[in-house]
Every structure is written in C-alpha cells, then in structure tokens.
Structure 1
Amino acid sequence: MKNIYLNAGTINKVFNELETSFKGVLNSNNNEFKLALDSNLIKGNIDGVTFINGITSIQASITFSDETLLSIEPLSKSSILFAYCTEGSVKHSFGISGHKSILRKHHSAVVTSTRSINTILHFQKNIPVKLSLIKVETEEAAHANSSLISQLKKTFLHREPNYSYQGLQNLKIAEKFEQLDDVTSHGMIGHTIKKEILQSILALEIEDNTDNLIKMSRAIKRSTLNQINELKKIPNFIKNYAVETLYSKVINSKNRIIFK
C-alpha cells in the first residue's frame, strides 16, 4: 500500500507536487499542463487546464502498480469538486477511516467540504483508471457573480459539512468529456473550446442534481400520500369488520335457534 499526500493550492503547485511525487516529466504553457508518468509505481498521463473564471480541469489516465491512497488537503469552503470516471473505478472517502463510496465507470460525483479533513482517493492495483476532475472556486473567481457560478453555489454549497453526491450514469456528460478529449486546437482557440465544453458539463451537473432532488422530493411526497391514504382506509376497514362480525354473530345466533 502506497500513501501519497497532495497539498491543495494553485494548479501550478498541484502539478509541481505531482511531478515530484510520481517522478514524472512536466510540460506547461499558457495555463495548460501535461505530465507524463512512467515509474515503478504509476504509468500514464495527467493533463490540466485552468481558466480565469475559477474553473480548473484535470484529466488523468493512469495505472498504479500497487494499492495507492492519494490524500488531498481539505477543499476550501467555497470550492466544489466534480469527478467523472470513464474507465475503471475509484473509491472516495473523507479521511482514511471515513465512509467509502465508489465512483464507477460513466458515473459522476460531487464533493464539497466545510471541515478540515482530507479527501482520500483509493486506487486499486493494476487497474487502468481514467478520471476527470473539475474544481470550481466560487468566491475567488474573477466572475464569482456570473450566472453559472451563482447556480453552482445555490445547488451544491451550504449542505452537509462534508457533502458527497453520487450521480447516475449520464450519457450527455460522457459525450461532453469525449469532446474534451478530442480537442486538438492549441492556443486561445483550444482554450476557448475547452472552457465552453467544461461550462456545458457543469450546467449538466446542475440539471442532473436538480432533477434528482425533484424526483426524490416527489417520491417522498408520493410515499407520504400513500401512507395517508392507507391510514384513511383503516376506519372503513374497522367499520366493515365490525359490521361483518356483528352480522356473522346474528346469523349464527339465528341458526342455533332454528336447529334447537
């Protein structure tokens, strides 16, 4: 079992730490980062890009040669972390001893935290994993009051102290990540295309989470109404039972009189 600790910070610091921890080769240009990994512990690539609106995206296509725990410093209270798995699976927990949830292929997760506790990612041995992370800083962003950021804050922040939501399979989001992988343009054009795709993914996450909350609310209401309707039936059931019982007693009484 290998334990890797990663300090939270700017994307520059994150990739510099990844380069040091995993002994990789890092290339960076215009807020875009590419890390090639080929060591005894890990093989693959990790790419990242950051935008002035507080959105940072990291795509990892990696395989560990040993069971590995990646411990990430606590998120800021204004941060939202979205994760999406396109191959393999990853376990997540708040702290090493916290409850473990599994992020499976083509499923997404949303994580926020207001407590000083590390986010732990659990990687299996010799299992290829393709994982995408989108981190949104809702307060420090240059466009913190934008419509998208406001909707993200309203939808995902101010919930439980450590909030983790496991979404269902969403083919629309899967398609967007495929589009992100297929971007070949460089410079400002490529940067703009990636930004638009990532914003579309975040919009879909808002829609997906909101729809699930609505469905859950409706399910709870249906369950409550069903319980109320069942309770309403009880008086009629008791009344009918009493009438049938009384009628049965009268009939039995008459039969006894006739056959005497």
Structure 2
Amino acid sequence: MKNIYLNAGTLNEVFTEIQTSFNGVLNSNNNEFKLTLNTDLIKGNIDGITFINGITSIQASLTFFDDVTLSIESFSNTSIVFAYCNEGHFRHSYGISGQQFTVQKQHTAIESSNRSVNSILYFKKNNPVQFSIIKVETLSLELNSTNSLLSDLKKTFVNKQPNFTYHSIQNLRIAEKWNQLKAITEQGMVGHILKKDLIQSIVALEIEDNTDPVLKMARGIKRSTLLQVNETKKIYSFIKQYSFDVIYNKVIGSKSRLFSKD
C-alpha cells in the first residue's frame, strides 16, 4: 500500500507537484496542462484546463501498480466538485476514518462541503481507471454575478445545505459531452473556447438534474429500482445457497444411512 499526499492549490501548482513527485513529462500552454506518467508505481495521463470564471476540469487515465491511498488537501469551502468515473472504479471518503463510497463506472459524485478534512481516494492495484473532475470555485460567483449559469449553480448547490454529497448513475447526456470533449482536436484559443462551452454545458445539465422535479422523481425511482434489484440478488443468492445446503445434507444423510446398514 502506497500513501500519496497532494497539496491543494492552483492547477499549475498541482500539476507541477505531481510532475516533480513522479518524474513525469509536463506540457502546458494557455492554462492547459498535459502530464504523462510512467513509473514503477503509476502509468497514464492527466489532462487539465482552467478558465477565468473559476471552473477547472481534470481528466485522468491511470493504472497503479500497487494499492494507493491518495490524500488530497481539503478543498476551499467555497468549491463545488463534480466527479465522474468513466472506466474502472475507486473509493472516496472524507478523512482516513470517514465513511467510504465507491464510485463505479458510469457513476457520478457531487460534493459541496465546508469540511476541513482531506478528501481520500483509494485505488486498487492493476485496476485501470479513468475519471473526470470539474471543480467550481464559488467565490468567483460573487465576482461574476451577471453570469446566470454560475448564479444558478450557487442556488442549486451552495445554498442547499452546508455539506452536500450525492452519488448516482451518470447522466447519459453528460457522458456524451465528455466524449465530445475528448474528441476536440483544435488548438489554441479555438480549442479553449470549445472546451469551455462543453464543460459549462455539463455544469448546466447538473443544475437541471438537481432542480427539475420530473428528473428528480425519475432519478429517485431509478435508485429505488436498483436497490430492489440488489436486494433481489441477495435473496436469490441466499435461496441458492440454502437449496444447495439442503440437497448436500440429504445426500450426506443418505450415504450415512447406506453405510450404517452395512
């Protein structure tokens, strides 16, 4: 088990710290960062981009060659984080002793927290994982009060409750937006604008998902259905094991009686 500690900071500081710690190859231009890692512990790529409206996006495709616990210094209590798992899975908790949640493939997690403890990510050995993160600094919402998207974001998440955490199946439209983001080949200002538009579209879809009453009801039904399916699987497994035990005991009992007659 390897324990890695990552300081919070600007995107440039975070990428530079990872590059230095793992001897990676870092290319940066116009607030965009591309980092390649290839060591005995970790292999893969991390891409990041930050925008002047306080929105940052990170996409990672990594394989760890040992079980890894990544401790990330607590985010500013003015931030909202959206996390998406595209391949594999990982676990998350607040603090090393906090309750752990598994973020699976095609699942999403949202958190808006004033907790002062670190976020802990757990990665399994030889388990390729792809995940994406959008972080919005809500302090910038006050500076961009004319931006309706950021204002709606504040109303939906910041004012909702002091510590908001949500895990669910990923919105298919959001998954498609991430695929479009990966497909962008334009460089420079044109590429930057295209990426910004797509990431803001993802944030808008998250707001819609968490405010539209019909979508919220459908999501609740979906969660309830998944829970029922999981419970049904547990019951089926129990019945299957019980039936096997009954048949096994009958066979053993029959053999015992047969041998006792001899």
* TM above 0.5: yes
Structure 1's 41 and 156: CA in aligned 2 closer, same or farther, altered over 3 A? same
Alignment partner of 2:169: what SS? coil
Q: Which residue is 2:65 aligned to?
A: 65
Quick check: 2:84–2:170 contact (8 Å CA) kept in 1? Answer: no
- Any unmatched runs of 5+ in structure 1? 220-260
- Counterpart AA for 2:30: N
Residue 138 of structure 1, CA deviation: 1.5
Task: Note if contact 1:138-1:144 (Cα within 8 Å) is conserved in structure 2.
Answer: no
Name the residue aligned to 1:44: 44
Post-superposition shift, 1:147? Answer: 0.8
* Cα distance in 1, alignment partners of residues 81 and 120 from structure 2: 13
Instruction: For residues 180-233 of structure 1, give each alpha carbon's deviation from its aligned partner in whole angstroms, at most 9, with x where no partner exists.
Output: 0000000000000000000000011111222478429998xxxxxxxxxxxxxx
Unaligned runs of 5+ in 2: 222-262
Closer/same/farther in 2, CA of residues 144 and 31 from structure 1, 3 Å limit: farther
CA contact (8 A) 2:209 2:216 kept: no
Q: Which residue of 2 aligns with 1:135?
A: 135
Letter in structure 1 aligned against 2:217: K
| Superposition deviation, residue 161 in structure 1 | 4.1
Structure 1 distance, partners of 2:38, 2:220, is: 50
Cα 1:161–1:183 shift into 2, 3 Å? same
CA distance in 1, matches of 2:56, 2:39: 26
Amino acid at match of 1:57: S
Structure 1 counterpart of 2:181, one-letter code: L
Equivalent residue letter for 1:95: G
Instruction: Within 5 Å, give how 1:74-223 maps onto structure 2.
Output: 74-140=74-140, 143-211=144-212, 214-215=216-217
Please report the TM-score for the alignment, with normalisation by the length of structure 1: 0.79
Provide TM-score, normalisation by structure 2.
Answer: 0.79
- Number of equivalent positions: 219
Q: Is the 1:53–1:144 contact (alpha carbons within 8 Å) kept by the matching residues of 2? A: no
Deviations 1:9-29 (A, max 9, x none): 110111011112222111111
Structure 2 Cα separation of the partners of residues 14 and 218 of structure 1: 37
1:33 aligns with 2:26: no
1:91–1:100 Cα contact (<8 Å) kept: yes
User: d(CA) in 2 for partners of 1:163 and 1:79?
Assistant: 11
Alpha-carbon separation, structure 2, partners of 1:121 and 1:161: 22
| CA positional deviation for 1:143 | 2.5
Helix, strand or coil at the partner of 1:13: helix
Map Cα deviations across residues 147-184 of structure 1 (whole Å, 9 max, x no partner).
11111111112445432111223111110000000000
CA contact (8 A) 1:49 1:57 kept: yes
Could you tell me how far apart the structure 2 residues matched to 1:66 and 1:182 are? Answer: 31
Contact 2:90 2:123 in 1 (8 A): yes
Larger Rg: 1
How much has 1:73 moved relative to structure 2? 1.0
Distance in 1 of aligned mates of 2:134 and 2:79: 10
Please give the alpha-carbon distance, in whole angstroms, between the structure 1 residues aligned to 2:125 and 2:6: 20
> Aligned equivalents of 1:81 and 1:210: distance in 2?
17
Which consecutive segments of 4 or more residues in structure 1 shift more than 3 A? 158-162, 211-214, 216-219
Superposed CA offset, 1:24-83 (max 9, x none)? 111111100000000010000000000011110000000000111111111112100110
CA contact (8 A) 1:79 1:136 kept: yes
Structure 1 SS opposite 2:86: strand
Please state how far the C-alpha of 1:145 moved relative to its aligned partner. Answer: 4.3
Q: Show CA shifts across 1:55-113 (max 9, x none).
A: 10000000000111111111112100110111001111100111111111111111121
Alignment CA distance shift 1:125-1:143 (3 Å): same
User: 1:207/1:63 Cα in 2 relative to 1: closer, same or farther (>3 Å)?
Assistant: same
User: What is the SS of the residue equivalent to 2:66?
Assistant: coil
